[in-house]
Amino acid sequence: MRKIRLIALDLDGTLLDPDKKLSAENAAALARAAGEGIEIVPATGRFYRGMPQLIRDLPYVRYVITINGAAVFDVVNRETVCDSEIPRERAVAVMERLDGLPVIYDCYQDGWGRMTQAFYDRAEEFAANAHSLDMIKNLRTPVPELKAYLKEQASGVQKIQIFFQDMDLRARMLKTLPEEFPDLVVTTSIVNNIEFNSREATKGVALKKLAARLDIPIGETMAFGDDFNDIPMLQAAGIGVAMGNADEEVKQAADHVTDGCDNSGVAHAMKRFLWENET
């Protein structure tokens, strides 16, 4: 069996069940792996402070891949150890392209979300569900106008996120935006969004950087995911595992497909690849 020293896990739709809870079976498998010296690394599109408290409270988590790989956060030292941003001017150009469309958008900067006040006030119209609305309202600071705000900042942004009501428009833009902005990564993590990151800000690149930092061969890593932003991480890892609830394209990118997030699929794959020989 292949030696595994680091496991990276997407959260929503992967490690967490549809109610955003960590099953007892998944929790036990993670704790056992951590006890055996394996690094457990949550890998999320969220920034660190936006992660569920139940994940931040896990005592064995030292590193977190955040914002689709734009930042790797050291929980113990409270510092970002790897990062990659969209330059400020490029971020403004993306937002100018979106103006006039029936969408709202925001950005992550310095580990926090910001959104134009008028968009913030309309969040309920664009949120996919109550959980998404709660995330927007509690993890975004409204500013009078986001592009004007960014033009006054020295740093770039870690992610731009668009929310749609019109799913046909979203589908069209998922095809055209990568052609319009080839220097950026265009992906999605929830049913009605599109996300922009820098070309170096993918979960796969972040996994490689973190593994190198910890002197762990990439072949000794394992990754779990369910959505398009997880594909680079599944392809980079020594063993890439797609969830049973994943899109077909995500499954095709993986080495193995496990059960769904509603049936502790993470734990089942860990048992297969880490402890299969146990009697």
Question: How do residues 48-81 score in pLDDT, each as one tens digit?
Answer: 999 999 999 999 999 999 999 999 999 999 999 9
The number of angstroms, rounded, from the C-alpha of 20 to the middle of its chain's C-alpha atoms is 15
Which residues in the chain are classed under CATH 3.30.1240.10? 88-198
Residue ranges in the chain whose pLDDT is less than 50:
279
pLDDT value for 279: 45
Token pair belonging to 39: 């690094």
According to CATH, what is the number of the domain 88-198? 3.30.1240.10
pLDDT digits (tens, 9 = 90+) for 251-277: 999 999 999 999 999 999 999 999 987
Q: Under 8 Å CB-to-CB from 147, ≥6 apart: which residues?
A: 92, 95, 96
pLDDT value for 277: 75
Q: Per residue, what are the HEC states of 101-161?
A: CCEEEEEEECCEEEEEHHHHHCHHHHCCCHHHHHHHHHCEEEECCHHHHHHCCCCCECEEE
Provide the whole-model pTM. 0.84
CA atoms within 13 A on the CB side of 73: 22
CATH class of 6-84+201-274: alpha beta
Which residues in the chain are classed under CATH 3.40.50.1000? 6-84+201-274
By C-alpha distance, which of 68, 4, 63, 79 is closest to 36? Answer: 4
By C-alpha distance, which of 223, 227, 254, 253 is closest to 237? Answer: 223
User: Strands 221-225 and 6-9: what pairing?
Assistant: parallel
DSSP category for residue 41: E
By C-alpha distance, which of 112, 41, 110, 26 is closest to 75? Answer: 41
Q: How many CB atoms lie within 10 A of CB 75?
A: 14
pLDDT value for 1: 66
pLDDT value for 2: 76
Give 66's strand partners.
Answer: 71
